[in-house]
Amino acid sequence: MKKFIFDVDGTLTPSRKKIEHEFWAPFLIFCRNHDVYLVTGSDRKKTLEQLGLDICYTCKRVYNCSGSDAYERDVNVYRDDWELPKKVERFLEDELAYSCFPIRNGLHIERRPGGVNFSILGRGKDAFEGREEYVKWDKERLERQDIADRLRNAFPDLSVALGGQTGLDLGPLGSDKSQILRDFNEDDELHFFGDRMEEGGNDYSLAVAVQKRCGFAYNIENYTKTWKLLSKYD
């Protein structure tokens, strides 16, 4: 059976923003006509904010927090209550203190079911304050990749992936997006759409796992590409 799996941020929506109006209705119709699943590093509240109830309730299942918190409509199918180890928390606090990036905006260690999101910039009331500056900073200095590499070396039992444009997704080893495949049959024809399929990105593990099953992984450079790809499945 053909099944479609979508990342959210950067794949269906602009980063951290709501789905654009002209894509909302066509995608809702697509969800009604196909078996659609969502998998995102964000929590349920943010996913509902970006896509709305109609889309989230029409999908077969919504995997929040990289698959550690799953919903079918308003039913919580399962949730992983992993706690961040104190030694990892201290490591992140040191990274925050050592970083020379000058803008700080709200919460830096965001606890989610099954993991945490760490951001030097932080997540404040204004989700976009300092975002452009940090994206440019990170592209020039590769700060997130450097932190991720040192985390993996210091804590081999930790899963670390670049999440979105400003954060890192952390959880126990095996808690990346590929964990959702436990809910799919071996003979399912899988089509996965994501924007962070480079090694170290939070779509990488699922893309590799899907392709090992002879499925299809579509690397989305810009969310508007998703709209064009879906037109061939009408």
Q: What residues are labeled active site?
A: 7, 9
Residue 97: its H or E element: helix 86-98
Q: Is-contact 17 42, C-beta < 8 A? A: no
Report the alpha-carbon distance of residue 161 to residue 11 in Å, rounded.
17
**Tokens found for residue 56:** 């989230």
Torsion, Cα of 69, 70, 75, 80 (10° steps) = -40
Three-point CA angle 15, 108, 158, nearest 5°: 90
> What is the phi/psi pair of residue 36, to 5°?
-115, 135
Task: Give the CA count within 13 Å in the CB-facing half-sphere of 174.
Answer: 4
Which residue in 226, 179, 228, 223 sits closest to 202, CA to CA?
179
| Edge-to-edge strand list for the sheet holding 75-79 | 75-79, 69-72, 61-64, 35-39, 2-6, 189-194, 216-219
